């Protein structure tokens, strides 16, 4: 029987993690878990409920009261809070600009990590986020740290927004991405950081298929060694 690996893809905002993770998961018939969507879902709920985002206990209480579901579909991954489809709502700029505050809290992270590990229980998973290789799947056979310059990442998000018909300001996007990266990498609990055994891929001047090819080569190499 073929060995099912766990694949961890971490990196800063808009490096291309979810795009390549989805393609790699499809190629391998693995499940794809977007852990950022889980933090975004909690942030959305916290905003709707007017919670104080600095209050760890109210965030945890809210998290424990909701089921966050990630459902694959032809249109991409759908995100549900209980029975409510929040796929679009969690991408709003309000959520994007608050999510790094919500995800700083230790108890919130502990609960999220527990849920993420349960999703990945049987292997055959591609998971992307900030702390997957370092905390969520420390034994993953394939760990990638995906990077790109902040200018390139902001430009890609800007292009994506325009394609979707959303308003977009390149300079503002670059500032927001840099601010979020700073909070994510400087927080005390599970900061964004390359795992010692992760392979760094700088995708600043790589296309999506080129990044996918590099990851698939790693998967083949590691699959041969288990």
- Which residue in 203, 215, 218, 219 binds ligand CDP (CB under 6 A)? 203
Q: Contact region for ligand CDP (CB under 6 A) — 69-77, 79-87, 99-107, 212-220? A: 99-107
Tokens at 89, concatenated: 């709502």
- Return the ∠ at Cα 110 (arms to 201 and 38), rounded to 5°: 60
Of 50 and 164, CB closest to ligand CDP: 164
Tell the smallest beta-carbon distance from residue 128 to ligand CDP (Å). Answer: 6
12 is in an annotated binding site: yes
46 is in an annotated binding site: no
Measured CA to CA, the distance from residue 188 to residue 191 in angstroms comes to 6
Report CA dihedral (200, 202, 207, 211) to the nearest 10 degrees. 0
Instruction: Kindly state whether residue 35 participates in binding ligand CDP, applying the rule CB under 6 A.
Output: yes
Tokens of 171: 């300079």
Residues 167-186 that bind ligand CDP (CB under 6 A): 180, 184
Q: Which two tokens stand for residue 131?
A: 């702390």
Residues 58-97, mask of contacts with ligand CDP (x by CB under 6 A)? ----------------------------------------
How far apart CA 38 and CA 115 sit, in angstroms, is 10
d(CA 211, CA 185): 23
Q: Residue 207 interacts with ligand CDP (CB under 6 A)? A: yes
C-beta nearest to ligand CDP: residue: 36
> Is the Cβ of residue 36 or residue 199 nearer to ligand CDP in the bound state?
36
- The count of chain residues that interact with ligand CDP, using the rule CB under 6 A, is 29
Using rule CB under 6 A, residue 100 touches ligand CDP:
yes
Residue 174 to residue 179: CA distance in whole angstroms: 9
Rounded distance, CA 78 to CA 94, Å?
Answer: 19
What's the CA dihedral at 94, 98, 103, 108 to 10 degrees?
-80
Contact footprint for ligand CDP (CB under 6 A): 11, 13-19, 35-36, 39-40, 99-100, 103, 129-132, 156-157, 160, 180, 184, 203, 206-208, 211
Q: List residues forming the annotated binding site.
A: 11-19
Q: List residues forming the annotated binding site for ATP.
A: 11-19
């Amino acid at each position: 029987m073929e060995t099912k690996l766990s694949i961890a893809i971490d990196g800063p905002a808009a490096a291309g993690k979810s795009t390549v993770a989805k393609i790699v998961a499809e190629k391998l018939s693995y499940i794809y878990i977007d852990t950022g969507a889980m933090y975004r879902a909690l942030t959305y709920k916290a905003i709707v409920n007017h919670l104080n985002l600095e209050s760890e206990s109210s965030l945890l209480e809210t998290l424990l009261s909701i089921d966050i579901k990630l459902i694959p579909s032809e249109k991409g991954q759908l995100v549900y809070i209980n029975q409510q489809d929040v796929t679009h709502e969690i991408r709003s700029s309000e959520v994007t600009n608050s999510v790094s505050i919500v995800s700083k809290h230790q108890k919130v992270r502990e609960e999220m990590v527990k849920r993420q590990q349960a999703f990945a229980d049987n292997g055959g998973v591609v998971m992307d986020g900030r702390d997957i290789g370092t905390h969520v799947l420390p034994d993953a056979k394939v760990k990638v740290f995906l990077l790109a310059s902040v200018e390139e990442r902001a430009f890609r998000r800007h292009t994506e927004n325009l394609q979707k018909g959303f308003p977009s300001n390149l300079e503002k996007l670059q500032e927001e991405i840099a601010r979020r990266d700073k909070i994510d990498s400087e927080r005390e609990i599970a900061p964004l950081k390359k795992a010692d055994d992760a392979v760094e891929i700088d995708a600043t001047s790589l296309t999506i298929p080129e990044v996918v090819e590099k990851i698939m080569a790693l998967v083949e190499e590691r699959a041969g060694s288990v």
